[in-house]
Amino acid sequence: MTPAMTQRPFQQIDVFTATPYRGNPLAVVLQADDLDDAAMQGFARWTNLSETTFVLAPTEAGADYRVRIFTPGGELQFAGHPTLGTCHAWLAAGGTPQAQAQVVQQCGVGLVQIRRDGERLAFGAPTLRRDAVRAPLLASVAAALGLRPAQVVSAQLLDNGTAWMGLLLDDALTVTQLKPDFSRLAATGTKVGVAAARADGGDVQLEVRAFAPHLGVNEDPVTGSLNASLAQWLIADGHMPGRYVAAQGAALGRAGRVHVASDPSGQIWVGGSSVTCIQGSVCL
């Protein structure tokens, strides 16, 4: 017997782009307080997007709403494009923040500040934990990506609620021309983000790609959590300036743009445009 279902407001948002279908899509289910974990996970598996979010009433003081973030394979404590896309959907559905200039999101890592910057939203990057990469793991990942040792400038394990291995490469062309062996990369069990500075003098200063084949996502179009942790690492270590724009998604026919800025306190803000592509209701 099919369990009773409820019509719930639903939006599909394209994040890190102002042009529909050129960024990273996100499914957002509003009014999800009575859904259990199995229903959320099942719907996220069905959408088959990199992330699906569910908006609930907050349980922490100061939060405007609470969000749970699911991939087809499990729940995340934090992710960047779901943070911006969920905030966009919540505001579009009539959500009213307690403070005019910012929205406060409650998620698995706690409270995340989201500021409204004209047409863009930007989240305050959560605290980053960094560790060195063990040589055998680095060698395995580099081989799966087809990289020579000399092409890897620096490497770090990065975790701001979701974990990545970050690789700073020697040249933006090295990033764009990568042809990973996804089966070998999946065998490492590691989410990998690669980046390199662009020196062409254009409006983009960093080229980024993200791979997570062991989670069923060979390449992610535009990745907020990765860009946040890359920014915290690369700015702190002097590899990038305190304000820059990153490009991601070209290999997938996307044109994601991620705006990064470090404020006077050292807080990293990661922002971008979002656009609603689908709006209606879902039976769930």
Point out the residues that are catalytic. Answer: 51
Largest CA distance in the chain: 61
Question: Residue 50: beta bridge partners?
Answer: none
Contacts 24+ apart (CB under 8 A), 29-32: 29/53, 29/54, 29/55, 29/282, 29/284, 30/55, 30/89, 30/90, 30/93, 31/55, 32/8, 32/56, 32/68, 32/284
State the helix-helix crossing angle for 80-92 and 224-236, rounded to 10 degrees.
120
Length of the chain: 284
Q: Are 78 and 160 in contact (CB under 8 A)?
A: yes
Burial state string for 39-63 with b = 16 or more CB within 10 A and e = fewer than 16: bbbebbeebebbbbbbbbebeeeeb
Please tell me what DSSP assigns to residue 177: T
